[in-house]
Structure 1
Amino acid sequence: MHAIVIEQDRLSWQPQAPLAAPEHREVRLRVAWAGVNRADLMQRAGHYPPPPGASEVLGLEVSGTVTETGPNVAGVAVGDRVCALLAGGGYAEEVVVDERQLLPLPEGIGLREAAALPEVHATAWLNLFMEGALTAGERVLLHAGASGVGTAAIQQCCAFGHPCFVTVGSQDKLDACVALGADAGWNRHDGSFFSAVKAWGGADLILDPVGASYLADNQQVLKADGRLVLIGLLGGRRAELDLGRMLMKRQRLIGSTLRAKPPEAKGAILDALRTHVWPRLANGEIRPLIDRSWPISEAQAAHTWIKNDANIGKVLLSVSGEA
Protein backbone atom coordinates (compact mmCIF):
# COMPACT_ATOMS: atom_id res chain seq x y z
CA MET A 1 0.00 0.00 0.00
CA HIS A 2 1.09 3.59 -0.66
CA ALA A 3 0.23 6.60 1.49
CA ILE A 4 1.29 10.21 1.94
CA VAL A 5 4.14 10.68 4.42
CA ILE A 6 5.26 14.04 5.87
CA GLU A 7 9.01 14.44 5.41
CA GLN A 8 10.64 17.69 6.52
CA ASP A 9 7.38 19.54 5.87
CA ARG A 10 6.99 18.00 2.41
CA LEU A 11 4.34 15.50 1.37
CA SER A 12 5.69 12.33 -0.23
CA TRP A 13 3.81 9.32 -1.74
CA GLN A 14 5.58 6.26 -0.35
CA PRO A 15 5.09 2.51 0.22
CA GLN A 16 3.64 1.67 3.64
CA ALA A 17 2.87 -1.48 5.59
CA PRO A 18 -0.51 -3.06 4.67
CA LEU A 19 -3.44 -2.20 6.91
CA ALA A 20 -4.73 -4.83 9.31
CA ALA A 21 -7.84 -6.77 8.37
CA PRO A 22 -11.14 -5.07 9.27
CA GLU A 23 -12.63 -6.08 12.61
CA HIS A 24 -16.15 -6.03 14.03
CA ARG A 25 -18.10 -3.42 12.02
CA GLU A 26 -15.15 -2.18 9.97
CA VAL A 27 -14.71 -2.33 6.21
CA ARG A 28 -11.73 -1.92 3.90
CA LEU A 29 -12.05 0.57 1.04
CA ARG A 30 -9.99 0.92 -2.11
CA VAL A 31 -9.70 4.70 -2.25
CA ALA A 32 -10.64 6.45 -5.49
CA TRP A 33 -10.53 10.11 -4.38
CA ALA A 34 -9.60 11.91 -1.15
CA GLY A 35 -10.87 15.29 0.00
CA VAL A 36 -8.45 17.96 1.22
CA ASN A 37 -9.47 20.02 4.24
CA ARG A 38 -7.81 22.89 6.10
CA ALA A 39 -7.71 20.54 9.09
CA ASP A 40 -5.11 18.52 7.16
CA LEU A 41 -2.88 21.57 7.00
CA MET A 42 -3.37 22.13 10.73
CA GLN A 43 -2.43 18.53 11.51
CA ARG A 44 0.63 18.82 9.31
CA ALA A 45 1.67 21.94 11.27
CA GLY A 46 1.28 20.09 14.56
CA HIS A 47 -1.88 21.90 15.72
CA TYR A 48 -4.56 19.22 15.19
CA PRO A 49 -3.36 15.72 16.11
CA PRO A 50 -5.52 12.71 15.25
CA PRO A 51 -7.66 11.22 18.02
CA PRO A 52 -6.13 8.31 19.98
CA GLY A 53 -6.07 5.18 17.86
CA ALA A 54 -6.68 6.98 14.56
CA SER A 55 -4.30 6.85 11.63
CA GLU A 56 -1.48 9.40 11.58
CA VAL A 57 -1.92 9.67 7.79
CA LEU A 58 -3.68 12.85 6.68
CA GLY A 59 -7.18 12.78 5.19
CA LEU A 60 -10.68 13.08 6.69
CA GLU A 61 -12.86 11.95 3.78
CA VAL A 62 -12.66 9.64 0.77
CA SER A 63 -14.72 7.90 -1.86
CA GLY A 64 -14.04 4.35 -2.96
CA THR A 65 -15.13 0.74 -3.24
CA VAL A 66 -15.62 -1.80 -0.45
CA THR A 67 -13.09 -4.64 -0.86
CA GLU A 68 -13.41 -6.45 2.49
CA THR A 69 -15.81 -6.48 5.43
CA GLY A 70 -15.43 -7.32 9.11
CA PRO A 71 -17.40 -10.15 10.75
CA ASN A 72 -20.20 -7.95 12.13
CA VAL A 73 -20.82 -5.72 9.11
CA ALA A 74 -24.45 -5.74 7.99
CA GLY A 75 -25.10 -2.57 5.98
CA VAL A 76 -22.61 -2.79 3.10
CA ALA A 77 -21.09 -5.49 0.90
CA VAL A 78 -17.94 -6.04 -1.13
CA GLY A 79 -18.22 -4.07 -4.35
CA ASP A 80 -20.37 -1.25 -2.94
CA ARG A 81 -19.29 2.26 -4.00
CA VAL A 82 -19.38 4.62 -1.03
CA CYS A 83 -18.01 7.80 0.49
CA ALA A 84 -16.62 7.87 4.02
CA LEU A 85 -16.05 10.26 6.89
CA LEU A 86 -12.73 9.45 8.58
CA ALA A 87 -10.75 10.35 11.69
CA GLY A 88 -7.62 10.09 9.51
CA GLY A 89 -5.92 7.96 6.89
CA GLY A 90 -7.54 9.22 3.69
CA TYR A 91 -4.37 10.11 1.75
CA ALA A 92 -3.72 6.43 0.97
CA GLU A 93 -4.60 3.63 -1.43
CA GLU A 94 -6.72 1.91 1.23
CA VAL A 95 -8.53 2.80 4.44
CA VAL A 96 -10.27 0.76 7.12
CA VAL A 97 -13.30 2.47 8.63
CA ASP A 98 -16.41 1.67 10.67
CA GLU A 99 -19.43 1.03 8.44
CA ARG A 100 -21.42 3.66 10.36
CA GLN A 101 -19.11 6.27 8.83
CA LEU A 102 -20.08 5.34 5.27
CA LEU A 103 -22.72 6.70 2.95
CA PRO A 104 -23.81 5.35 -0.42
CA LEU A 105 -23.20 7.55 -3.43
CA PRO A 106 -26.21 9.79 -4.09
CA GLU A 107 -28.09 8.86 -7.23
CA GLY A 108 -26.35 10.35 -10.26
CA ILE A 109 -23.16 11.21 -8.33
CA GLY A 110 -19.85 9.51 -9.23
CA LEU A 111 -16.86 8.72 -7.05
CA ARG A 112 -15.04 11.97 -7.84
CA GLU A 113 -17.94 14.20 -6.81
CA ALA A 114 -18.79 11.99 -3.83
CA ALA A 115 -15.36 12.61 -2.26
CA ALA A 116 -16.35 16.28 -1.95
CA LEU A 117 -19.35 15.51 0.25
CA PRO A 118 -18.81 13.78 3.62
CA GLU A 119 -16.70 16.16 5.70
CA VAL A 120 -18.22 19.44 4.53
CA HIS A 121 -21.86 18.38 4.62
CA ALA A 122 -21.46 16.55 7.93
CA THR A 123 -19.79 19.63 9.44
CA ALA A 124 -22.46 21.95 8.06
CA TRP A 125 -25.38 19.76 9.16
CA LEU A 126 -23.94 19.08 12.62
CA ASN A 127 -23.36 22.75 13.38
CA LEU A 128 -26.35 24.34 11.69
CA PHE A 129 -29.08 21.90 12.64
CA MET A 130 -27.84 19.76 15.53
CA GLU A 131 -25.56 22.01 17.60
CA GLY A 132 -27.04 25.25 16.28
CA ALA A 133 -30.66 24.02 16.40
CA LEU A 134 -31.89 26.24 13.57
CA THR A 135 -35.63 26.81 13.53
CA ALA A 136 -37.86 27.97 10.68
CA GLY A 137 -36.74 31.19 9.03
CA GLU A 138 -33.75 31.93 11.28
CA ARG A 139 -30.90 33.87 9.70
CA VAL A 140 -27.32 32.63 9.45
CA LEU A 141 -23.93 34.36 9.20
CA LEU A 142 -21.33 32.11 7.55
CA HIS A 143 -17.68 33.08 7.82
CA ALA A 144 -15.31 31.70 5.15
CA GLY A 145 -18.35 31.30 2.93
CA ALA A 146 -16.39 30.15 -0.14
CA SER A 147 -14.65 27.30 1.69
CA GLY A 148 -15.75 23.70 1.35
CA VAL A 149 -17.80 23.88 4.54
CA GLY A 150 -19.05 27.36 3.66
CA THR A 151 -20.35 26.39 0.22
CA ALA A 152 -22.03 23.30 1.68
CA ALA A 153 -23.61 25.40 4.44
CA ILE A 154 -24.91 27.99 1.94
CA GLN A 155 -26.68 25.24 0.03
CA GLN A 156 -28.11 23.65 3.16
CA CYS A 157 -29.37 27.04 4.36
CA CYS A 158 -31.07 27.67 1.01
CA ALA A 159 -32.60 24.20 0.85
CA PHE A 160 -34.16 24.53 4.29
CA GLY A 161 -35.31 28.15 4.18
CA HIS A 162 -32.61 30.03 6.11
CA PRO A 163 -31.35 33.33 4.67
CA CYS A 164 -27.55 33.53 4.92
CA PHE A 165 -24.91 36.24 4.82
CA VAL A 166 -21.29 35.29 4.02
CA THR A 167 -17.91 36.80 4.68
CA VAL A 168 -15.20 35.99 2.12
CA GLY A 169 -11.77 37.12 0.93
CA SER A 170 -12.42 38.41 -2.60
CA GLN A 171 -15.10 39.68 -4.94
CA ASP A 172 -14.87 36.49 -7.02
CA LYS A 173 -15.63 34.46 -3.91
CA LEU A 174 -18.52 36.74 -2.99
CA ASP A 175 -19.98 36.40 -6.49
CA ALA A 176 -19.68 32.60 -6.28
CA CYS A 177 -21.45 32.51 -2.91
CA VAL A 178 -24.32 34.68 -4.13
CA ALA A 179 -24.64 32.44 -7.19
CA LEU A 180 -24.99 29.47 -4.80
CA GLY A 181 -27.81 31.23 -2.97
CA ALA A 182 -26.31 33.49 -0.29
CA ASP A 183 -28.47 36.57 0.33
CA ALA A 184 -25.55 38.96 0.67
CA GLY A 185 -21.97 39.10 1.78
CA TRP A 186 -18.87 41.06 2.71
CA ASN A 187 -15.27 41.06 1.56
CA ARG A 188 -13.17 40.90 4.74
CA HIS A 189 -10.47 43.01 3.10
CA ASP A 190 -12.91 45.93 3.20
CA GLY A 191 -12.81 46.00 7.01
CA SER A 192 -15.22 44.82 9.67
CA PHE A 193 -18.38 42.99 8.65
CA PHE A 194 -20.26 44.53 11.60
CA SER A 195 -22.17 47.32 9.82
CA ALA A 196 -23.07 45.22 6.79
CA VAL A 197 -24.47 42.36 8.87
CA LYS A 198 -26.39 44.75 11.13
CA ALA A 199 -27.90 46.41 8.07
CA TRP A 200 -28.86 42.96 6.75
CA GLY A 201 -30.78 42.32 9.97
CA GLY A 202 -28.34 40.48 12.22
CA ALA A 203 -27.89 36.75 12.71
CA ASP A 204 -29.65 34.13 14.78
CA LEU A 205 -26.75 31.73 14.24
CA ILE A 206 -23.10 32.27 13.29
CA LEU A 207 -20.90 29.48 11.93
CA ASP A 208 -17.35 30.62 12.63
CA PRO A 209 -14.02 28.96 11.76
CA VAL A 210 -12.08 32.13 12.62
CA GLY A 211 -12.30 32.53 16.38
CA ALA A 212 -10.63 35.25 18.44
CA SER A 213 -10.30 38.06 15.91
CA TYR A 214 -14.02 37.90 15.05
CA LEU A 215 -15.44 37.39 18.54
CA ALA A 216 -16.29 41.01 19.38
CA ASP A 217 -18.07 41.70 16.08
CA ASN A 218 -19.79 38.32 16.19
CA GLN A 219 -21.30 39.19 19.56
CA GLN A 220 -22.41 42.58 18.24
CA VAL A 221 -24.34 41.14 15.29
CA LEU A 222 -25.76 38.10 17.10
CA LYS A 223 -29.42 38.60 17.94
CA ALA A 224 -31.19 37.76 21.18
CA ASP A 225 -31.18 34.00 21.82
CA GLY A 226 -28.53 33.71 19.11
CA ARG A 227 -25.95 30.92 18.88
CA LEU A 228 -22.30 31.35 17.92
CA VAL A 229 -20.93 27.96 16.83
CA LEU A 230 -17.13 27.95 16.85
CA ILE A 231 -15.56 25.37 14.50
CA GLY A 232 -12.02 26.75 14.04
CA LEU A 233 -9.35 29.09 15.32
CA LEU A 234 -7.84 30.61 12.19
CA GLY A 235 -7.93 34.04 13.83
CA GLY A 236 -6.52 33.00 17.20
CA ARG A 237 -7.70 31.28 20.36
CA ARG A 238 -7.85 34.08 22.95
CA ALA A 239 -10.16 37.12 22.96
CA GLU A 240 -12.30 39.12 25.36
CA LEU A 241 -15.89 37.92 25.71
CA ASP A 242 -18.56 40.46 26.66
CA LEU A 243 -20.36 38.47 29.34
CA GLY A 244 -22.84 41.29 29.93
CA ARG A 245 -24.02 41.16 26.33
CA MET A 246 -24.09 37.36 26.46
CA LEU A 247 -26.25 37.48 29.58
CA MET A 248 -28.69 40.18 28.49
CA LYS A 249 -29.09 38.85 24.95
CA ARG A 250 -29.19 35.20 26.12
CA GLN A 251 -26.45 34.40 23.61
CA ARG A 252 -24.83 30.96 23.50
CA LEU A 253 -21.25 30.15 22.53
CA ILE A 254 -20.88 26.56 21.33
CA GLY A 255 -17.55 24.88 20.64
CA SER A 256 -17.80 22.06 18.12
CA THR A 257 -15.45 19.52 16.54
CA LEU A 258 -16.40 16.52 14.44
CA ARG A 259 -13.22 14.49 14.05
CA ALA A 260 -13.00 12.90 17.52
CA LYS A 261 -16.66 11.87 17.75
CA PRO A 262 -17.13 8.08 18.02
CA PRO A 263 -18.59 6.03 15.14
CA GLU A 264 -22.10 6.00 16.60
CA ALA A 265 -22.18 9.80 16.81
CA LYS A 266 -20.79 10.20 13.30
CA GLY A 267 -23.31 7.62 12.15
CA ALA A 268 -26.18 9.71 13.53
CA ILE A 269 -24.95 12.75 11.58
CA LEU A 270 -24.57 10.74 8.37
CA ASP A 271 -28.03 9.21 8.84
CA ALA A 272 -29.43 12.74 8.92
CA LEU A 273 -27.53 13.59 5.73
CA ARG A 274 -28.89 10.50 4.03
CA THR A 275 -32.44 11.52 4.98
CA HIS A 276 -32.31 15.26 4.34
CA VAL A 277 -29.38 16.10 2.04
CA TRP A 278 -28.84 13.04 -0.16
CA PRO A 279 -32.26 13.33 -1.90
CA ARG A 280 -31.45 16.97 -2.69
CA LEU A 281 -28.11 15.93 -4.18
CA ALA A 282 -29.93 13.36 -6.30
CA ASN A 283 -32.40 15.93 -7.67
CA GLY A 284 -29.77 18.65 -8.17
CA GLU A 285 -31.06 21.10 -5.56
CA ILE A 286 -27.73 20.70 -3.75
CA ARG A 287 -24.57 19.93 -5.73
CA PRO A 288 -20.94 19.10 -5.03
CA LEU A 289 -18.76 22.13 -5.62
CA ILE A 290 -15.25 21.10 -6.66
CA ASP A 291 -12.63 23.79 -7.14
CA ARG A 292 -9.65 21.76 -8.40
CA SER A 293 -8.07 18.32 -8.12
CA TRP A 294 -4.51 16.99 -8.20
CA PRO A 295 -2.99 13.49 -8.37
CA ILE A 296 -2.22 12.18 -4.89
CA SER A 297 1.48 12.41 -5.69
CA GLU A 298 1.02 16.19 -5.98
CA ALA A 299 -0.66 16.64 -2.59
CA GLN A 300 1.88 19.33 -1.78
CA ALA A 301 0.46 21.56 -4.53
CA ALA A 302 -3.08 21.01 -3.26
CA HIS A 303 -2.06 22.09 0.23
CA THR A 304 -0.36 25.19 -1.11
CA TRP A 305 -3.53 26.10 -3.02
CA ILE A 306 -5.64 25.90 0.15
CA LYS A 307 -3.01 27.64 2.28
CA ASN A 308 -3.19 30.57 -0.17
CA ASP A 309 -7.02 30.72 0.19
CA ALA A 310 -7.32 30.20 -3.56
CA ASN A 311 -10.15 27.65 -3.54
CA ILE A 312 -13.89 28.13 -3.96
CA GLY A 313 -15.38 24.85 -2.77
CA LYS A 314 -13.56 21.54 -2.41
CA VAL A 315 -10.05 20.47 -3.37
CA LEU A 316 -9.58 16.77 -4.18
CA LEU A 317 -6.74 14.29 -4.63
CA SER A 318 -7.02 11.54 -7.21
CA VAL A 319 -5.81 8.20 -5.82
CA SER A 320 -7.08 5.56 -8.27
CA GLY A 321 -8.87 8.20 -10.39
CA GLU A 322 -11.95 5.99 -10.74
CA ALA A 323 -14.96 8.02 -11.82
Structure 2
Amino acid sequence: MATTTIEHVTFRNADMCWDIAADIYLPADFTTDSSYPSIVVAHPIGSCKEQTSGNIYAQALADAGFVAIAFDASFQGASGGYPRFLEDPTQRVEDFRRVVDFLVTLPYIDVERIGVLGICGGGGYTLNAALTEKRFKAVVSITGVNFGRMQRETAAVNGGVLQALTGFAELRTASVRGTEAPVTNFLPDTAEAAATIGDIDIVEAFDYYRTERGQSAHGCTTMLLSHASSAMGWDAFHLADELLDQPLLVIIGDKQGVFGAYKDGHTIYEKAASQDKELVVLEGVSHYELYDQENGAGQALRRVVPFFTTKL
Protein backbone atom coordinates (compact mmCIF):
# COMPACT_ATOMS: atom_id res chain seq x y z
CA MET A 1 0.00 0.00 0.00
CA ALA A 2 1.42 3.39 -0.99
CA THR A 3 2.07 5.87 1.80
CA THR A 4 2.52 9.59 2.17
CA THR A 5 6.02 10.95 1.57
CA ILE A 6 7.35 13.95 3.51
CA GLU A 7 9.99 16.13 1.88
CA HIS A 8 11.96 18.47 4.15
CA VAL A 9 12.82 21.68 2.31
CA THR A 10 14.27 25.13 2.92
CA PHE A 11 13.92 28.09 0.59
CA ARG A 12 14.72 31.77 0.41
CA ASN A 13 12.90 34.36 -1.68
CA ALA A 14 14.32 37.55 -3.13
CA ASP A 15 13.01 39.72 -0.28
CA MET A 16 14.51 37.55 2.48
CA CYS A 17 17.86 37.28 4.25
CA TRP A 18 16.99 33.95 5.89
CA ASP A 19 15.57 30.55 4.98
CA ILE A 20 12.11 29.22 5.67
CA ALA A 21 11.91 25.55 6.63
CA ALA A 22 8.92 23.52 5.55
CA ASP A 23 7.68 19.96 5.23
CA ILE A 24 5.90 19.01 2.02
CA TYR A 25 3.43 16.16 2.48
CA LEU A 26 2.98 14.34 -0.82
CA PRO A 27 -0.02 12.06 -1.46
CA ALA A 28 0.31 8.35 -2.06
CA ASP A 29 1.25 7.45 -5.65
CA PHE A 30 2.57 11.00 -6.16
CA THR A 31 4.30 11.67 -9.46
CA THR A 32 5.99 14.84 -10.67
CA ASP A 33 4.20 14.44 -14.01
CA SER A 34 0.79 15.12 -12.45
CA SER A 35 -0.82 18.38 -11.31
CA TYR A 36 -2.11 18.62 -7.75
CA PRO A 37 -4.21 20.97 -5.64
CA SER A 38 -2.23 22.17 -2.66
CA ILE A 39 -2.82 23.51 0.84
CA VAL A 40 -0.57 25.83 2.84
CA VAL A 41 -0.85 24.91 6.53
CA ALA A 42 0.11 27.36 9.32
CA HIS A 43 1.02 26.37 12.87
CA PRO A 44 -0.30 27.98 16.07
CA ILE A 45 1.58 30.72 17.90
CA GLY A 46 4.52 29.24 19.78
CA SER A 47 4.18 25.99 17.86
CA CYS A 48 6.03 24.48 14.90
CA LYS A 49 5.46 22.53 11.71
CA GLU A 50 6.00 19.17 13.42
CA GLN A 51 2.98 19.65 15.63
CA THR A 52 -0.70 19.94 14.68
CA SER A 53 -0.18 21.80 11.39
CA GLY A 54 2.03 19.03 10.02
CA ASN A 55 1.44 15.72 11.73
CA ILE A 56 -2.36 16.10 11.90
CA TYR A 57 -3.73 18.47 9.26
CA ALA A 58 -1.08 18.34 6.52
CA GLN A 59 -0.85 14.57 6.89
CA ALA A 60 -4.61 14.12 6.57
CA LEU A 61 -4.78 16.45 3.56
CA ALA A 62 -2.03 14.49 1.82
CA ASP A 63 -3.89 11.28 2.58
CA ALA A 64 -6.86 12.86 0.80
CA GLY A 65 -4.81 13.59 -2.34
CA PHE A 66 -3.59 17.14 -1.76
CA VAL A 67 -0.02 18.37 -1.63
CA ALA A 68 0.22 20.03 1.78
CA ILE A 69 3.05 22.26 2.95
CA ALA A 70 3.48 22.95 6.67
CA PHE A 71 6.04 25.65 7.38
CA ASP A 72 7.83 27.16 10.36
CA ALA A 73 7.26 30.87 10.79
CA SER A 74 10.25 33.12 10.20
CA PHE A 75 12.31 33.65 13.36
CA GLN A 76 10.88 30.45 14.83
CA GLY A 77 11.31 26.68 14.66
CA ALA A 78 13.80 25.50 12.03
CA SER A 79 13.32 28.65 9.94
CA GLY A 80 15.94 31.38 10.01
CA GLY A 81 15.69 35.01 10.99
CA TYR A 82 16.99 37.07 13.88
CA PRO A 83 16.06 37.96 16.59
CA ARG A 84 14.67 34.60 17.60
CA PHE A 85 11.16 34.09 18.98
CA LEU A 86 9.86 37.14 17.14
CA GLU A 87 6.04 37.17 16.98
CA ASP A 88 5.39 39.99 14.54
CA PRO A 89 2.03 39.75 12.76
CA THR A 90 3.34 41.60 9.71
CA GLN A 91 6.12 39.06 9.22
CA ARG A 92 3.84 36.13 10.04
CA VAL A 93 1.38 37.20 7.34
CA GLU A 94 4.15 37.88 4.83
CA ASP A 95 5.38 34.31 5.37
CA PHE A 96 2.24 33.04 3.63
CA ARG A 97 3.20 34.95 0.49
CA ARG A 98 6.74 33.62 0.75
CA VAL A 99 5.48 30.06 0.97
CA VAL A 100 3.15 30.52 -2.01
CA ASP A 101 5.99 32.08 -4.00
CA PHE A 102 7.96 28.88 -3.42
CA LEU A 103 4.99 26.60 -4.02
CA VAL A 104 4.16 28.01 -7.46
CA THR A 105 7.69 27.21 -8.68
CA LEU A 106 7.02 23.48 -8.22
CA PRO A 107 6.00 21.92 -11.56
CA TYR A 108 3.41 19.59 -10.03
CA ILE A 109 1.38 22.36 -8.33
CA ASP A 110 -1.83 23.59 -9.96
CA VAL A 111 -1.53 27.32 -9.27
CA GLU A 112 -5.28 27.79 -9.67
CA ARG A 113 -6.05 25.31 -6.88
CA ILE A 114 -4.19 26.52 -3.80
CA GLY A 115 -5.91 26.65 -0.43
CA VAL A 116 -4.81 27.70 3.03
CA LEU A 117 -5.51 26.42 6.53
CA GLY A 118 -4.32 27.66 9.91
CA ILE A 119 -4.78 26.56 13.49
CA CYS A 120 -5.18 28.85 16.55
CA GLY A 121 -3.08 31.99 16.01
CA GLY A 122 -2.11 30.49 12.66
CA GLY A 123 -5.82 30.54 11.84
CA GLY A 124 -5.97 34.26 12.55
CA TYR A 125 -2.91 34.86 10.41
CA THR A 126 -4.44 32.69 7.66
CA LEU A 127 -7.58 34.83 7.58
CA ASN A 128 -5.56 38.03 7.46
CA ALA A 129 -3.25 36.74 4.72
CA ALA A 130 -6.23 35.74 2.58
CA LEU A 131 -7.47 39.35 2.59
CA THR A 132 -4.77 40.33 0.10
CA GLU A 133 -3.25 37.05 -1.11
CA LYS A 134 -5.66 36.00 -3.82
CA ARG A 135 -3.62 33.04 -4.95
CA PHE A 136 -5.47 31.39 -2.06
CA LYS A 137 -8.72 30.16 -3.60
CA ALA A 138 -10.24 28.65 -0.43
CA VAL A 139 -9.66 29.42 3.25
CA VAL A 140 -10.03 27.36 6.44
CA SER A 141 -9.60 28.54 10.03
CA ILE A 142 -9.40 25.88 12.75
CA THR A 143 -10.12 27.36 16.19
CA GLY A 144 -8.60 30.58 14.84
CA VAL A 145 -7.49 33.32 17.24
CA ASN A 146 -7.09 37.03 16.47
CA PHE A 147 -3.72 37.50 18.16
CA GLY A 148 -3.97 41.27 18.35
CA ARG A 149 -7.33 41.08 20.11
CA MET A 150 -5.99 38.46 22.51
CA GLN A 151 -2.90 40.50 23.37
CA ARG A 152 -4.92 43.64 24.02
CA GLU A 153 -7.38 41.79 26.25
CA THR A 154 -4.55 40.15 28.16
CA ALA A 155 -2.85 43.50 28.68
CA ALA A 156 -6.11 45.11 29.76
CA VAL A 157 -6.36 42.84 32.80
CA ASN A 158 -2.67 43.26 33.65
CA GLY A 159 -2.30 47.00 33.99
CA GLY A 160 -3.61 48.20 30.65
CA VAL A 161 -2.56 48.29 27.01
CA LEU A 162 -0.74 51.63 27.24
CA GLN A 163 1.24 50.45 30.24
CA ALA A 164 2.20 47.29 28.37
CA LEU A 165 3.33 49.31 25.35
CA THR A 166 5.46 51.55 27.55
CA GLY A 167 7.08 48.48 29.08
CA PHE A 168 7.81 46.94 25.68
CA ALA A 169 9.37 50.22 24.52
CA GLU A 170 11.67 50.26 27.53
CA LEU A 171 12.70 46.66 26.90
CA ARG A 172 13.50 47.41 23.27
CA THR A 173 15.66 50.40 24.23
CA ALA A 174 17.51 48.28 26.78
CA SER A 175 17.97 45.54 24.18
CA VAL A 176 19.62 47.75 21.57
CA ARG A 177 21.85 49.14 24.32
CA GLY A 178 23.16 45.65 25.02
CA THR A 179 20.86 44.16 27.67
CA GLU A 180 19.61 40.69 26.83
CA ALA A 181 15.95 40.93 25.88
CA PRO A 182 13.62 38.79 28.00
CA VAL A 183 11.58 35.99 26.45
CA THR A 184 8.18 35.21 27.91
CA ASN A 185 6.55 31.82 27.96
CA PHE A 186 2.86 31.67 27.18
CA LEU A 187 2.39 28.76 29.59
CA PRO A 188 2.82 28.20 33.35
CA ASP A 189 5.87 26.24 34.47
CA THR A 190 3.98 23.23 35.83
CA ALA A 191 0.74 21.34 35.37
CA GLU A 192 -0.16 22.27 38.93
CA ALA A 193 0.24 25.98 38.14
CA ALA A 194 -1.93 25.57 35.05
CA ALA A 195 -4.57 23.79 37.12
CA THR A 196 -4.52 26.62 39.65
CA ILE A 197 -5.31 29.12 36.89
CA GLY A 198 -8.13 26.77 35.97
CA ASP A 199 -8.93 28.02 32.47
CA ILE A 200 -9.54 25.18 30.01
CA ASP A 201 -7.29 26.67 27.34
CA ILE A 202 -4.35 27.05 29.74
CA VAL A 203 -4.78 23.60 31.29
CA GLU A 204 -5.06 21.86 27.93
CA ALA A 205 -2.25 23.93 26.38
CA PHE A 206 0.11 22.65 29.07
CA ASP A 207 -1.04 19.08 28.39
CA TYR A 208 -0.44 19.49 24.65
CA TYR A 209 2.87 21.35 24.65
CA ARG A 210 4.54 19.97 27.77
CA THR A 211 3.77 16.25 27.61
CA GLU A 212 4.42 13.44 25.14
CA ARG A 213 1.03 14.18 23.59
CA GLY A 214 2.32 17.07 21.48
CA GLN A 215 5.74 18.08 22.80
CA SER A 216 8.32 19.03 20.18
CA ALA A 217 11.79 20.57 20.37
CA HIS A 218 10.67 23.61 18.37
CA GLY A 219 7.25 23.97 20.00
CA CYS A 220 8.62 26.36 22.59
CA THR A 221 5.56 28.62 23.23
CA THR A 222 7.80 31.65 23.75
CA MET A 223 7.82 35.27 22.54
CA LEU A 224 10.45 38.01 22.56
CA LEU A 225 9.03 40.79 24.74
CA SER A 226 11.17 43.60 23.35
CA HIS A 227 9.36 43.16 20.02
CA ALA A 228 5.88 42.48 21.38
CA SER A 229 4.43 45.92 20.68
CA SER A 230 3.55 45.28 17.03
CA ALA A 231 0.76 42.85 17.89
CA MET A 232 -0.96 45.38 20.15
CA GLY A 233 -1.97 47.56 17.22
CA TRP A 234 -2.87 44.70 14.88
CA ASP A 235 -6.29 43.29 14.05
CA ALA A 236 -6.48 40.05 12.05
CA PHE A 237 -9.99 40.91 10.86
CA HIS A 238 -9.44 44.50 9.73
CA LEU A 239 -11.12 45.03 6.31
CA ALA A 240 -12.43 41.45 6.22
CA ASP A 241 -15.83 42.88 5.37
CA GLU A 242 -14.33 44.31 2.18
CA LEU A 243 -11.46 41.99 1.21
CA LEU A 244 -12.07 38.46 2.50
CA ASP A 245 -14.08 37.11 -0.43
CA GLN A 246 -12.85 33.54 -0.93
CA PRO A 247 -14.90 30.48 0.05
CA LEU A 248 -14.47 30.26 3.81
CA LEU A 249 -14.82 27.52 6.41
CA VAL A 250 -14.49 28.44 10.09
CA ILE A 251 -14.41 25.62 12.65
CA ILE A 252 -14.55 26.15 16.41
CA GLY A 253 -15.49 24.18 19.50
CA ASP A 254 -18.14 25.34 21.93
CA LYS A 255 -15.99 24.84 25.05
CA GLN A 256 -14.79 28.39 25.60
CA GLY A 257 -11.44 29.40 27.10
CA VAL A 258 -9.34 32.49 27.62
CA PHE A 259 -7.82 32.43 24.10
CA GLY A 260 -11.18 33.47 22.68
CA ALA A 261 -11.40 31.30 19.56
CA TYR A 262 -15.16 30.81 20.01
CA LYS A 263 -15.76 34.55 19.96
CA ASP A 264 -13.31 35.15 17.12
CA GLY A 265 -14.94 32.44 15.03
CA HIS A 266 -18.33 34.09 15.26
CA THR A 267 -16.80 37.52 14.61
CA ILE A 268 -15.00 36.59 11.41
CA TYR A 269 -17.96 34.57 10.12
CA GLU A 270 -20.25 37.57 10.51
CA LYS A 271 -17.72 40.03 9.16
CA ALA A 272 -16.24 38.21 6.14
CA ALA A 273 -17.34 39.47 2.73
CA SER A 274 -17.38 35.88 1.41
CA GLN A 275 -20.69 34.89 -0.14
CA ASP A 276 -19.72 31.25 0.28
CA LYS A 277 -18.97 30.82 3.99
CA GLU A 278 -19.75 28.36 6.76
CA LEU A 279 -19.30 28.39 10.52
CA VAL A 280 -19.09 24.95 12.15
CA VAL A 281 -19.43 24.84 15.94
CA LEU A 282 -18.50 21.41 17.31
CA GLU A 283 -20.42 20.56 20.46
CA GLY A 284 -18.44 19.49 23.51
CA VAL A 285 -15.12 20.25 21.82
CA SER A 286 -12.33 22.41 23.24
CA HIS A 287 -9.63 24.49 21.58
CA TYR A 288 -6.89 21.88 22.01
CA GLU A 289 -9.05 18.93 21.06
CA LEU A 290 -9.08 20.58 17.63
CA TYR A 291 -5.30 20.17 17.56
CA ASP A 292 -5.08 16.40 17.61
CA GLN A 293 -8.04 14.55 19.12
CA GLU A 294 -10.52 12.44 17.17
CA ASN A 295 -13.55 14.24 18.60
CA GLY A 296 -11.97 17.59 17.65
CA ALA A 297 -9.46 17.41 14.79
CA GLY A 298 -11.06 14.23 13.47
CA GLN A 299 -14.48 15.87 13.21
CA ALA A 300 -12.93 19.01 11.72
CA LEU A 301 -11.12 17.09 9.01
CA ARG A 302 -14.34 15.40 7.96
CA ARG A 303 -15.53 18.90 7.07
CA VAL A 304 -12.22 20.28 5.80
CA VAL A 305 -11.41 17.61 3.21
CA PRO A 306 -14.79 17.85 1.38
CA PHE A 307 -14.61 21.64 1.56
CA PHE A 308 -11.22 21.80 -0.17
CA THR A 309 -12.20 19.04 -2.59
CA THR A 310 -15.25 21.03 -3.68
CA LYS A 311 -13.78 24.53 -3.65
CA LEU A 312 -10.49 23.66 -5.33
TM-score for both structures, normalised by structure 2: 0.30
- Higher helix proportion (structure 1 or 2): 2
- Higher strand proportion (structure 1 or 2): 1
